[in-house]
Structure 1
Amino acid sequence: MRVRHTLPAAVAVAGLAMTATACGGGSSDSGSSAAKGGQSLKGHTVTVAGVWTGEEQASFKKVLQGFTDATGAKTDFVSTGDNVSTVIGTKIAGGDAPDVVMVPQVGVVQQFASSGWLQPLSSAVDAEVTQNYAPVWKNYGTVKGQLYALYFKASDKSTVWYSPTAFANAGVTPPTTYAQMMTDAKTISDSGLAAFSVGGQDGWPLTDWFENIYLSQAGPGNYDKLAQHQIKWTDPTVVKALTTLGDFFKQDDLIAGGRKGALATDFPTSVEQVFGDSPKAGMTYEGDFVSGNVQSLHKKVGTDAKFFPFPAVDGGQPPVVGGGDAAVVLNKGKDKAAGMALVKYLASPQAAAIWAKAGGFISPNKAVPLTDYTDPTLRETAKSIVDAGNGVRFDMSDQAPAAFGGTAGTGEWKILQDFLRDPSNPAKTAQTLESAAAKAYQG
């Protein structure tokens, strides 16, 4: 599942705790001409599966049309919903595997590779990544020394979006500490508008809340260990972060509709409740991709909607939690060569420029000109994510096995939804998380 305007200095990476850090070239250079124009793939059809819906899907289809214009190949996009691994596994078993999958979790890339489902990316794609991406993004797509995934879309999940009108009415300004943010939240609530809209119906925003608190409060070293289950979820640092998050969840008056309302609010609605025509809250926390949802509401980012970096917790460093969506080629697809050509195209700055101009997108590709971002806010964010280089900590739940960190209705998503429903016992929630994590990592 999922960058910011003014990023704080990125946390230095002591080790990104990826499965592997080396990369290897693929077995074929299929697709080396994909971005060169012509009709070299006329008559081919590439089936692409991904989680995107709404504005994101519409924007990605513009990118796919760019591929068609460049190569002559047609494309067919299939939405998987959030349960990517389950849906793709079913399609492979049924002999209906797509050619390319846009995978939103590092853990799922690793799972697919370990299951033998993936085609190594070609040496042409490898060369593009080596030249135009920070090493961290190549590491994210590498499993046991082999490059399998191309990170096309990046995100910064350390941004808090707010209504300038709501802040002005309450007499508050963007905070620089978590404690001040909670104080301001109370002030906004006292002014007659709930402080936050929380997309609790979708479990993944809740994992992002936890991860930002944990990274800042417990530090990057513990973050890396927990991401790889090298420390247990019952560790005191986890209980402390859950306690901090639970103290917020307990305050029903700070949340639009209270906890019950949050559990019935999906991510797009959480944005609409702040920036729609009938606002119910002054802030919503999520990644830079909120800007696309704001624009779909016909509101202007930078005027009607602004954000501040997720603030430092308990004297720690401001967190920099990143995410991204990676393209992989399935070896059971019907047209692997055309699929590889699409991934080669996605590695080009031309492909990224299409979505950059549409909004709601940033690329980790440093060859994408900043002028391609028509939104000045996203232009600054894109520069920050590229400048951060190896300093981004990847979304923790996206690094976990899908059964724990990436599946609706189970694992971390479901457990944190239950915690939102009843935040009274952080230690018990930590134990439940540990039980689910231990099972998933053993599997």
Structure 2
Amino acid sequence: MRARRSRVLRVAAPAAALVLALAACQNGSGDEASGPVPTLTGDCAKYQAYAGHAGKKVTMFASIISPESDSLQKSWAEFSSCTGITISYEGSNDFESQLPVRVQGGNAPDLTPIPQPGLLKQMVQTGKVVKPPQQTVANVEKYWAPSWKTYGSVDGTFYAAPMSSNMKSLVWYSPKAFADAGYTVPTTWADLMTLSAKIASDGKAKPWCGGIGSGTATGWPATDWLEEVVLGQHGGDVYDKWISHQIKFDSPEIRQSMETVAGWMLNPAWVNAGFGDVKTIATTTFQDAGKPILSGKCYMLQQASFYRAQWPAGTTIGPDKAVFAFYLPPVNPAIKTPVVGGGEFVTAFADRPEVQAVQNYLSSAEWASSRVKTAPGWVSANNGVDIALYTDPLDALSAKALSDTSGTFRFDASDLMPAAVGAGQEWKSMTAWFAQGQSIDKVVKDIDAAWPE
């Protein structure tokens, strides 16, 4: 993640809360919400629009867990200390399954960043999602492309502001290992497949490693592989019709893309170095999937920009460092710069003033800029972020691709599909494809059968 995804799931982490006293930069004392709004001074003055809620707590539940959640909490630490609003954060590996349970059980968080528009729609259908305040709406209209507002809408009504964005069309590799072996970064799909065959033939290591394990969200990386191929093989029109089920999984186009994925990531001669055979892709967590690159057991991993947070501490990242990434070229070179991306959308289940203050802040360019500063590897499609803040070459590559208006950008397909499919049967069936060797015929028919009437 999506997280996922982004589905950005990690090892389990306990709930963490920023329990912060009102900072010295805020005048006044006690519960400011019930009295005059205090004047913030010094470094806190920039948070004046959010003042007046000292001592209040806002709960947040999400799929983002350590280590990425650590930098996430740093990104709003100053906001919390200056305003006196405590953001009590909890991340979970079982977010997608637990959120509906909590909402239906009357234990909904105040805010939750949802990485799947399909899950957002499911939550809206409960009748418990609260529409965002007007300032949040204004921020989204100012800083984000119209498509992002659409992704945060259900049946034409806007509910959730985009919080983050990520680029998924990347391949991680070791520049040093490539140089030592005499390999060059491929710029076409044909070159990528030729390189994969050569690496396998050389016999020093497998070309690809992979893992789709992710708790109750197991399977999502495999859906990403299919999405990359569908968009890069057939283009945006087929991709859009596939999302809406006008084109079914059991169609010539999607079957062809399934065959392409099979020749790539289910190829026993090409995967899964460091772990075992093809079936081990289903039991290897996506967090661990890239580690064999560091030990020289495999050369490449297809994963998103957010995978940066999964490399072991101390791993250097750059064009001449331990690891880096290159753009995953399209299967069909005629398709202009296809990019699959994802993101999270801040959804509210409460409309208390302090909750709305946090919503407004998280939809601002100021918060997005703070997040960029605290989390190398995190990029945003928020156009209020100064591109100069992306000092890392990989971040700059991702930000440029996400903001390329001439390219073919599409949001993660499974995140846009109904939750019963995109966050349910598709994960299950794609996992069975890898773990049990289920046929493409069964996989596509089972997924189509799960589509809501």
- Using the size of structure 1 for normalisation, the TM-score is 0.84
Corresponding residue of 2:28 = none
Higher helix share: 1
Deviation track 1:264-321 (CA, whole Å, cap 9, x = no partner) reads 211110122223xx24211100111122323745322332222221112144424311
Gaps of 5+ in 1: 4-32
Could you tell me how far 1:38 is from its partner in structure 2? Answer: 7.1
Choose which of 108, 115, 118 in structure 1 pairs with 2:129.
Answer: 118
- Contact 1:177 1:311 (8 Å CA) reproduced: yes
For residues 295 and 388 of structure 1, do their structure 2 counterparts lie closer, same or farther at Cα, with a shift above 3 Å needed? Answer: farther
- Contact 1:35 1:344 (8 Å CA) reproduced: no
* CA distance in structure 2 between the partners assigned to 1:400 and 1:35 by the alignment: 38
Deviation track 1:237-263 (CA, whole Å, cap 9, x = no partner) reads 111111111122442231122213222
Could you tell me how far 1:213 is from its partner in structure 2? Answer: 0.6
- Contact 1:50 1:80 (8 Å CA) reproduced: yes
Corresponding residue of 1:292 = 309
- Contact 1:102 1:328 (8 Å CA) reproduced: yes
Q: Does 1:418 align with 2:440?
A: no
Q: CA RMSD in A?
A: 2.3
- Contact 1:200 1:206 (8 Å CA) reproduced: yes
Which stretch shows the higher mean deviation, 346-355 or 75-84?
Answer: 75-84
Corresponding residue of 2:25 = none
Could you tell me how far 1:151 is from its partner in structure 2? Answer: 0.8
Could you tell me how far 1:39 is from its partner in structure 2? Answer: 4.7
Could you tell me how far 1:93 is from its partner in structure 2? Answer: 3.1
Corresponding residue of 2:403 = 386
For residues 424 and 413 of structure 1, do their structure 2 counterparts lie closer, same or farther at Cα, with a shift above 3 Å needed? Answer: closer
Q: Does 1:377 align with 2:377?
A: no
* CA distance in structure 2 between the partners assigned to 1:153 and 1:296 by the alignment: 23
Could you tell me how far 1:337 is from its partner in structure 2? Answer: 2.4
Choose which of 354, 367, 390 in structure 2 pairs with 1:338.
Answer: 354
* CA distance in structure 2 between the partners assigned to 1:361 and 1:96 by the alignment: 30
Q: Does 1:435 align with 2:449?
A: yes
Amino acid at match of 1:49: F
- Contact 1:53 1:79 (8 Å CA) reproduced: yes
Amino acid at match of 1:228: S
- Contact 1:250 1:423 (8 Å CA) reproduced: no
* CA distance in structure 1 between the partners assigned to 2:312 and 2:135 by the alignment: 36
* CA distance in structure 2 between the partners assigned to 1:133 and 1:141 by the alignment: 11
Q: Does 1:306 align with 2:324?
A: yes
Deviation track 1:17-65 (CA, whole Å, cap 9, x = no partner) reads xxxxxxxxxxxxxxxx994367521111010010011221111111232
Corresponding residue of 1:46 = 58
Q: Whose RCO is larger (CA < 8 A, sep 6+)?
A: 1
Which stretch shows the higher mean deviation, 239-248 or 88-97?
Answer: 88-97
SS of structure 2 residue aligned to 1:312: coil
- Contact 1:246 1:423 (8 Å CA) reproduced: no
* CA distance in structure 1 between the partners assigned to 2:81 and 2:385 by the alignment: 20
Choose which of 369, 387, 408 in structure 2 pairs with 1:353.
Answer: 369
* CA distance in structure 1 between the partners assigned to 2:193 and 2:445 by the alignment: 27
Could you tell me how far 1:76 is from its partner in structure 2? Answer: 0.9
For residues 177 and 100 of structure 1, do their structure 2 counterparts lie closer, same or farther at Cα, with a shift above 3 Å needed? Answer: same
For residues 191 and 170 of structure 1, do their structure 2 counterparts lie closer, same or farther at Cα, with a shift above 3 Å needed? Answer: farther
Deviation track 1:131-152 (CA, whole Å, cap 9, x = no partner) reads 1111111111122332211111
* CA distance in structure 2 between the partners assigned to 1:248 and 1:390 by the alignment: 24
Could you tell me how far 1:324 is from its partner in structure 2? Answer: 0.5
Corresponding residue of 1:217 = 233
* CA distance in structure 2 between the partners assigned to 1:169 and 1:414 by the alignment: 39
- Contact 2:2 2:220 (8 Å CA) reproduced: no
Amino acid at match of 1:90: V
Deviation track 1:106-151 (CA, whole Å, cap 9, x = no partner) reads 1111221222121111111111111111111111112233221111
Q: How does 1:223-234 map to 2 (within 5 A)?
A: 223-234=239-250
Q: How does 1:9-48 map to 2 (within 5 A)?
A: 35-36=47-48, 39-48=51-60
- Contact 1:34 1:341 (8 Å CA) reproduced: no
- State the structure with more CA Rg: 2
Choose which of 187, 199, 204 in structure 2 pairs with 1:188.
Answer: 199
Could you tell me how far 1:406 is from its partner in structure 2? Answer: 1.6
Corresponding residue of 2:85 = 73
SS of structure 1 residue aligned to 2:113: strand
Q: Does 1:162 align with 2:173?
A: yes
For residues 383 and 238 of structure 1, do their structure 2 counterparts lie closer, same or farther at Cα, with a shift above 3 Å needed? Answer: closer
* CA distance in structure 2 between the partners assigned to 1:231 and 1:51 by the alignment: 30
Amino acid at match of 2:358: L
- Contact 2:317 2:324 (8 Å CA) reproduced: no
Corresponding residue of 1:175 = 186
Amino acid at match of 1:401: P
- Contact 1:289 1:361 (8 Å CA) reproduced: yes
Identity percentage over the alignment?
31
Amino acid at match of 1:57: S
* CA distance in structure 2 between the partners assigned to 1:371 and 1:219 by the alignment: 32
Gaps of 5+ in 2: 4-44
SS of structure 2 residue aligned to 1:393: strand
* CA distance in structure 2 between the partners assigned to 1:285 and 1:36 by the alignment: 43
Aligned length: 401
Q: Does 1:399 align with 2:411?
A: no
Q: How does 1:122-141 map to 2 (within 5 A)?
A: 122-141=133-152
Amino acid at match of 1:230: Q
Corresponding residue of 1:273 = 292
